[in-house]
Amino acid sequence: MSNLKGLPRADIRHLVRGAIVDDGVITESDIPEVNQAKFKMMDLDGILSYEYDTEQFAAVGGMENLKNWLDIRRGAFNANSSDSGGGSDNGSVARIDSPKGILLLGVQGGGKSLAAKSVAGMWSVPLLRLDIGALYNKFHGETERNLRESLAMAEKMSPCVLWMDEIEKGLSTDNSDSGTSQRVLGTLLTWLAEKQKPVFVVATSNDISKLPPELIRKGRLDELFFVDLPDEKTREIIFKIHLEKRELDVNNFNLAELALVAEGFTGAEIEQAIVSAVYRGLSENGTGSADKNSGQQRVVSQSLLLAELQATAPLSIVMAEKLAALRQWADERNMVRV
């Protein structure tokens, strides 16, 4: 019933009836469709969007610290924070605070967006994406109103995950916009401090220079995580995930060798190397498309994939100075590695 909160009774009947009509029953598998239909009824499209496709952490290589952190807090998030705990006569039962959210900082392509989607998948709740850039309006006060309405709508969809991608783009620390960004920041910080509904914020950022200090201090969000480049073992896992995703037999590949050659690659760069190898193999074999019967298996080889990796200049080389500065910033603040 928590997935139907915020709707009038007539709309609830309509949604439930629609879910039952499809296959004669309503089950947990109908929840994503019900949530999407609810989202449309509440007219949330635009600044706030419903992300239908979430992920499971099985599709994310590494990030064990983040996975464990989220798993510990899963029960607290799903609990009704207003009724949870409350204490006892001897004060031995603690009140359970609902988790507020996290900030994921790291290199582009490191998996921050995938992690945000995986939080919603892991906790089995809707994922909403707030387009920070779309908030801004030329008329005075409209930008702040857009944010307040979006946050209020997110609360109506609770419990949910609210994903704020590249949050620094809407919270600039300069004064070039007549103070609008500062007022937006103030609205967001007030909401984070006072919200009562289970809305878990996942903010992602690539540019530390534009992050306001008011947002990143402890207490605003529960934890700050640094998403670094994947280590060798994690790169093996990433190769395995993306090869299997394309129905390629991982037993035909030397994952250890691939991971070694891909040192300094992000997860996105590894995936793109596999995609490029598939295209190159199809082209060299005179196949215009990936025919499942003839199979991609015969056209993608270890040597072809190694060649694609060696032809790629990863961001860790192209933007080495920026990455070094990012790591130093994270180390100085004792940020938790994912």
pLDDT tens figures, 253-300:
999 999 999 999 999 999 999 999 999 988 887 654 445 444 445 578
Contact assessment for residue 253 and residue 243, using Cβ atoms and an 8 Å cutoff: yes
C-alpha separations of 16 from 10, 76, 262 in Å? 10, 28, 49
Q: Which CATH class is domain 232-318?
A: mainly alpha
Q: How confident is the model at residue 157 (pLDDT cuts 50, 70, 90)?
A: confident
Q: How confident is the model at residue 307 (pLDDT cuts 50, 70, 90)?
A: very high
Stretch 63-86: mean pLDDT: 76
CB atoms within 10 A of CB 22: 10
Domains of the chain by residue range: 1-43, 46-76+96-227, 232-318
Burial grade of 16 (CB within 10 A; 0-12, 13-18, 19 or more): middle
Task: State the pLDDT at residue 142.
Answer: 85
Distance CA 197, CA 31 (A): 19
Distance CA 305, CA 169 (A): 36
pTM value is: 0.79
Q: Which CATH class is domain 46-76+96-227?
A: alpha beta
Cα pseudo-dihedral 116, 119, 120, 124, rounded to 10: 170
pLDDT 10s digits, 160-207 = 999 999 898 888 666 566 678 888 899 999 999 888 889 999 999 988
DSSP 47-66: TEEE------GGGS-S-HHH
